[in-house]
Each structure stands twice: as C-alpha cells, then as structure tokens.
Amino acid sequence: MNVGADGRKIAVVTGASSGIGAATARVLAAQGYHVVVGARRVDRIAALAAEIGGTGRQLDVTDEASVAAFVEGLDRIDVLVNNAGGAKGLASVAEADLDDWRWMWETNVVGTLRLTQTLLPALIASGDGLIVTVTSIAALDVYDNGGGYTSAKHAQGVLHRTLRYELLGKPVRLTEICPGMVETEFSLVRFDGDQERADATYQGLTPLTAEDVAEVIGFAASRPPHVNLDQIILKPRDQASARRNVRTG
C-alpha cells in the first residue's frame, strides 16, 4: 500500500494502541496528518486507524522483521513519534531481574534506534522532518528501585540528543518529551497486570492524562520549520520530581 498518495503529510506513531501514543495519533490526525499507527495489539490499532482515517499496522519495535513490514510502502515520512516503550518491575539493583532489564533496554533504547535508523532517510528527504521521542523524567533523574527503567530512559534520551547534534544542518527537528506521572497503562505494565498496585501509584494526587502530553506533542509538531523545541519536561502540579510528590512530601 502506498501511504501518502492522498497528499497529506505522514506521521508515524509507535506504541499507539493506548495512552500517550493513541492520544498523539488523534491530535496529529486532527492537525491534518495521515497517521500511521503501530503497536503489537493489532485489533486496537485497526480501530484507532479507522477512527482517525489513518493506517494501522502491527509493530513490534524489538523485532527487525516486524519493523521492515511496518515501513513497507511508506514512501514519505514527515513526523516520527517514538513512543513505544515502558517499564517492567520496581526492583533494587541488587535484586533486579535481568529479563526485565533486557525488555526495557530492547523496547525503549534499541527499539527507538531501530525505527529511527529505518525512517531517517525519509525524514530527511521530506525537507522538514520531525522526530519526537517520548522519554520520561526518568531520563533525567534516578530513583530507588528504578534502575532498569531510569537507565533505559537515560540511554534513549542520549540517543535522541546525540541525533540532534548529528543532524545539525539537515532539515529535521528533534523534540524530546519528558513526562512525569501520566495515568495510562504504564503502571499496569510495570506491575505485570496488577491493577490494584497500578491504581495505588496515582492515589492522592492528580496525574497528567495522555491527552495532556499529546497536546504538547501537537504543539511541537505545529511550530514552523525553523523552531526546534529541544526538550520539554511536563509533570503534574502534584509532582516535583521522580522521587517527590504531594503524597510522599
């Protein structure tokens, strides 16, 4: 399929089956982009694509063949939103599960690298490309029992920030989005489906919503080509840092 034949600009959003990814796809579609949404859960992707008049394709950023199939026929790319990623577990370094670390590094770091490398020539060829990478405040700070996630998010942030240097002089903007607490499926995945534990994460405070973050991504995407928003940190008013919020004091 030749995506882009209708003349609309093309945006690719990874991890788009829920949360920040799905909300971002809706915002970019409302701005006039043809949005290509990717995620592992193909039923959700198909429903979202139908809703926003975009294209849904299964995507596992940890799988080379899946990425190759995902990008097939994408002749043109204007915006890439690297949103796929997440956390698994909350364990001290002493007790860390090596498979959880591998999953976090594979999805957040290597996945972002794989997709970005693949789409980079098309983003440059667009003449006004934009790469948005959704990292986290965990890309800027560390916290107890978060080493697997904070190290992966730091590495993902470094990958993105390095590209900002390497692409200087090329027509590609780069924006890193560093959200704090956002109520999505993030904690449900982190706690392996334990809904009670996930809910407890946000008790006693008002977290950001996926839409709050998506609006900011939409703002970055709608700036003129010479304006680069390098890094945007957004947190709920109730959260001062990864370690301190109104509940912890």
- Catalytically active residues are 149
- Near ligand 8X3 by CB under 6 A, which window of 12-20, 37-45, 98-106, 135-143? 135-143
- Closest residue (Cβ) to ligand 8X3? 136
Which residues does 142 contact at the CB level (< 8 Å), separation at least 6? 150, 242
The distance of closest approach from Cβ of residue 138 to ligand 8X3 in the complex, given in angstroms and rounded to an integer, is: 5
Work out how close the CB of 210 gets to ligand 8X3 at its nearest, in angstroms, rounded to a whole number: 12
d(CA 243, CA 249): 9
Nearer CB in complex with ligand 8X3: 23/122: 23
Q: Where are the beta strands (DSSP E) in the chain?
A: 10-14, 34-39, 55-58, 79-82, 129-134, 172-179, 231-234
Q: Residue written as tokens 């770091």?
A: 109
* Count of residues engaged in binding ligand 8X3, rule: CB under 6 A: 6
Strand partners, 133: 82, 176
> Residue 157: what residue type?
G
What is the nearest approach in angstroms of ligand 8X3 to the Cβ of residue 134? 9
3-class SS at 35?
Answer: strand
Complex with ligand 8X3: residue 116 or 156, whichever CB lies closer? 156
Tell me if 180 contacts ligand 8X3 by CB under 6 A: yes
CB of 207 to ligand 8X3, least distance (A): 8
Tell which one of 133, 136, 151, 175 touches ligand 8X3 (CB under 6 A): 136
- Kindly report the backbone phi and psi dihedral angles of residue 50, in degrees, each rounded to the nearest multiple of 5, phi listed first: -65, -40
Q: Does 104 help bind ligand 8X3 (rule: CB under 6 A)? A: no
Cα distances (angstroms) measured from residue 6 to each of 32, 53, 76, 117: 11, 12, 11, 25
Binding residues for ligand 8X3, rule: CB under 6 A, are: 136-138, 180-181, 242
